Amino acid sequence: MLGAIEAGGTKFICAVANAEGTVIDKVRIDTEAPEVTMGHVFDFFNQYPIESMGIASFGPINVDKNSDKYGYIGNSSKVLWQNYNFLGNLLAHYPNINYQWTTDVNGSVYGEYKAGAAKGKDSCLYLTIGTGIGGGAVINGKLLQTTRHPEMGHIRVVKHPKDADFAGNCPIHGTCLEGLAAGPSILARYGVEGNELSTNHEIWEILADYIGQALVSYAYIMAPDIIIIGGGVSKQAQMLPLIREKFKEYNNDYIDLPDLETYIVPTGLGDDSALVGCLELAKEALEIKE
Ligand code: ZN
């Protein structure tokens, strides 16, 4: 059977599926201390004969197979998980499984590439805008991952004139994309959550401006066939049209693109992108001997 772990900063979703990828059982586990959460993860998978697993984790994570920290969570904002040997603990319990290990956003982009909004495309980019900002990409059918994984949320963008006084919210960089445009930046500016502000509040145009700048950069560097936007902030209905508007303005007709309604799109799989991606990775892992 196939196993999937979508490991997020607030919850883990674990699932088992048959060889075709049909989900047989699924569980949601709160992200607490590693020993507590992983205890529940093992209780769940112990019920099934798992042959292969796809694991997509919050990070930063170590994806360098030649590193002695391969499979570890790095300098995460989830302090209890810093330097936790995630993959090692999993393999200690299930020593005979095949697996693929990647980031949460790579799990999502892979799901969208195989079965969602990017099905049939060769290259795609997935950006989540929620409590943080992160991106994953598939380029010519392969996940973009080397000895490191991309950190698309932490690039620099040009400050919006109406946002000049905001110091930014990223503990590392201050005014990086995540510091300026992730959900918590709204609370930091106004003292209220985004869903308490009206849909025509100026903040949405400011956030869309930052996202639009970033998407133009990603599009120029990676040349994806389609860009998929997920995460809580993107569920605000006014956001996608505003993002497309800003993208159009900053691209200024430089690269020729399809209609932006078909180029910058919402997820095709909703909240299931990463889980579907993990099961696809598990399926492929059956062919790989680690
Ligand atoms: Zn940052």
Instruction: Give, for all 290 residues of the chain, the pLDDT tens digit.
Output: 999 999 999 999 999 999 999 999 999 999 999 999 999 999 999 999 999 999 999 999 999 999 999 999 999 889 999 999 999 999 999 999 999 999 999 999 999 999 999 999 999 999 999 999 999 999 999 999 999 999 999 999 999 999 999 999 999 999 999 999 999 999 999 999 999 999 999 999 999 999 999 999 999 999 999 999 999 988 899 999 999 999 999 999 999 999 999 999 999 999 999 999 999 999 999 987 55
Strand partners, 138: 124, 143
Sheet with 52-57, side-by-side order of all strands: 23-30, 11-17, 2-7, 52-57, 98-103
Residues 6+ apart with CB under 8 A from 10: 30, 31, 131
Q: What separation in Å is there between the alpha carbon of 255 and the centre of ligand 1? A: 28
- Give residue 70's region: left, alpha or beta (phi > 0; psi -120 to 50): beta
How far apart (Å, rounded) are the C-alpha atoms in residues 191 and 201?
14
Instruction: For residue 223, count other CB atoms closer than 10 A to its CB.
Output: 11
Q: What's the distance, CA 72 to chain centroid?
A: 18
Instruction: For residue 225, count other CB atoms closer than 10 A to its CB.
Output: 17
Q: What separation in Å is there between the alpha carbon of 166 and the centre of ligand 1? A: 14
CA distances from 28 to 13, 42, 62, 76, 178 (A): 5, 13, 24, 21, 26
Q: What separation in Å is there between the alpha carbon of 114 and the centre of ligand 1? A: 30
What is the pTM assigned to this prediction?
A: 0.96
Estimate the crossing angle of helix 202-222 against helix 239-251, to 10 degrees: 50
Q: What separation in Å is there between the alpha carbon of 171 and the centre of ligand 1? A: 7
CB 100 within 8 A of CB 107: no
Q: What separation in Å is there between the alpha carbon of 270 and the centre of ligand 1? A: 26
